[in-house]
Amino acid sequence: MKIIIAGAGEVGFHLAKQLSNEEHDITVIDVDAAQLSRCNAATDVLTITGSSTAIDVLKSAGIQKTDLLVAVTSSESVNINTTILAKKLGAKQTIARVGNAEYISEENRKMFKEMGIDYLIYPEELAAQEVVKLIERAAATDIIDFEDGKLSLLGLKIDLNTPVLRKSIKDIASEYSQFDFRIVAIHRGMRTIIPKGDDIFLNNDQIFVITTPEGTDEVVRLAGKDKTKISDIMILGGGKIGRKSAKQLEHNLNIKLIESDREKTADLADYLQKTLVIQGDGRDIDLLAQEGIVDMDGFIAVTNDAETNIITCLMAKHLGVSKTIALVDNVDYIPLTQTIGLDSLINKKLIAANNISRFIRKSNIVSIATLQGIDAEVLEYIAKPGSQITKKPVRDLKFPKDAIIGGVIRGEKGFISVGDTQVIANDKVVLFTLPGAVNKIEKFFQ
């Protein structure tokens, strides 16, 4: 597939990294030569310095023969103008990143479709949805649902109270053979491991488990997180993400939202029906204490300052808050946050890149997701009739050692993959892989 990415910032950069691993023909356009140099250094893409709203630049990028143009610059107007021009110049499909909530309403989506924009992506909305999922399943550090939850990937932290601590994968599989889950990865320090039977869980490991809806509660119990109940939440930051998160959570939970800007506080008080909105500096420990941070079950820090979010979440954790979520938009901080005690983090730019990847269908790949701070990918494939994946049981496939099949979705039912599982044509197969094995995996599904 020939793809043009307009914008080499974090969204464009990570999207280019994801897609270049899959042998797409990718061109990245940006006015900033330094951003393009970063892309060149880390990915196998063609770069063009210039404005994506310049017709000559689009033509030099081969817009007439482009299958997809993705506009993800920091400017909403540039993205909209780029996609409209691209469609007129011959691009088959277009995606635009926007920052205005009203644009993504059903009515307005139709209007943009008529203008030539096939898909609108609003990162703040996606980030708020991620926050809500992490609160609803508070035990998890990461959550990815497949086919509306027929299978789910849960990230869970191992600590000294975890029942499976120092047990091997083999022992756990034997002891809990009646439950629907499969451990597909261990993240230890800075390294991601595709586990074997003899691998043992250690303190501070982060594990990733594929499970069915029926197995979710049992997985959480085995990780020692079943007592994580959320009723009272404090949100720091009343921007787009904090505002939307509070709106979605306030009908089922008790929410306090702290915002430093006086005008924004008044607007939030009108917009939110059941949330207690407080005007003040969330970095003020006395204010947090006065507002009862020690009585909170969850603390969500989504200000525009990553350092503030990290520090306040660590402070909340120190005070006994069971679930903390930090917005960290500086990608360089992500590996650090995995090691210093944060429960969950969200990065709206990586979430946006993952969402765009799901929109792009590479032959029989249904969806692609990366885990924040983890050098691995979760892929969902469709098994083509006659493909290698359908010819033998899983145990006999000689699958790459850096990848593991977690589960299969057949019709309306998801189930966990075991040795004698036989994939059949049109099954959707969910697997976990390190980057080096992606091309080898593709051959099994062709």
pLDDT exceeds 60 at position 361: no
**Domains 132-222 and 358-444 alike in fold:** yes
pLDDT exceeds 60 at position 363: no
Q: DSSP letter at 159? A: -
Which residue has tokens 């096939």? Answer: 118
DSSP codes, 277-292: EEES-TT-HHHHHHTT
Strand (E) or helix (H) holding 143: strand 142-146
Is 337 within 8 Å of 328 (Cβ atoms)? yes
Which residue has tokens 């993504």? Answer: 104
Q: How far apart are CA 300 and CA 318, in angstroms?
A: 14
Give the rounded percent of residues in the chain with a pLDDT score beyond 90.
Answer: 52
pLDDT at 295: 94
Burial per residue of 184-195, b for 16 or more beta-carbon CB atoms within 10 angstroms, e otherwise: bbbbeeeebebb
Confidence band of 56 (pLDDT split at 50, 70, 90)? very high
Predicted confidence (pLDDT) per residue in 278-291, tens digit: 999 988 889 999 99
Q: How far apart are CA 60 and CA 48, in angstroms?
A: 9
Confidence band of 22 (pLDDT split at 50, 70, 90)? low
Predicted confidence (pLDDT) per residue in 348-359, tens digit: 888 888 788 767
Predicted confidence (pLDDT) per residue in 206-243, tens digit: 899 999 988 888 888 877 776 567 899 999 999 999 99
pLDDT at 327: 94
- Domain 132-222 sits in CATH at 3.30.70.1450
Is 406 within 8 Å of 428 (Cβ atoms)? no
Q: How far apart are CA 130 and CA 331, in angstroms?
A: 17
Domain ranges of the chain: 2-121, 132-222, 229-351, 358-444
pLDDT exceeds 70 at position 293: yes
pLDDT at 84: 96
- Please give the class, per CATH, of domain 2-121: alpha beta
Q: Can you name the CATH fold of 229-351? A: Rossmann fold (3.40.50)
Is 242 within 8 Å of 235 (Cβ atoms)? yes
Minimal CA–CA distance to 255: which of 264, 269, 203? 269
pLDDT at 142: 84
pLDDT at 365: 64
Question: Quick count: other Cβ atoms within 10 Å of Cβ 257?
Answer: 26
Kindly report the pTM of this predicted structure.
Answer: 0.78
Q: Tell me how far CA of residue 422 lies from CA of 210, 391, 425, in angstroms.
A: 18, 8, 10
Mean pLDDT of 269-281: 95
pLDDT at 437: 82
Structure tokens at 10: 């974090």
Mean pLDDT of 176-203: 85
- Please give the class, per CATH, of domain 358-444: alpha beta
pLDDT exceeds 70 at position 27: yes
Q: How far apart are CA 153 and CA 142, in angstroms?
A: 8
Residue 61: what residue type?
A: A
DSSP codes, 170-184: HHHHHHTTTS-EEEE
pLDDT exceeds 60 at position 193: yes
pLDDT exceeds 70 at position 205: yes
Predicted confidence (pLDDT) per residue in 61-89, tens digit: 999 999 999 999 999 999 999 999 999 99
Sheet holding 403-410, edge to edge: 365-370, 377-382, 428-433, 403-410, 413-416
The overall average pLDDT reported for the chain is: 88
Minimal CA–CA distance to 365: which of 16, 10, 13, 18? 18
Structure tokens at 184: 């597909």
What is the torsional sign of CA 227, 346, 250, 324?
positive
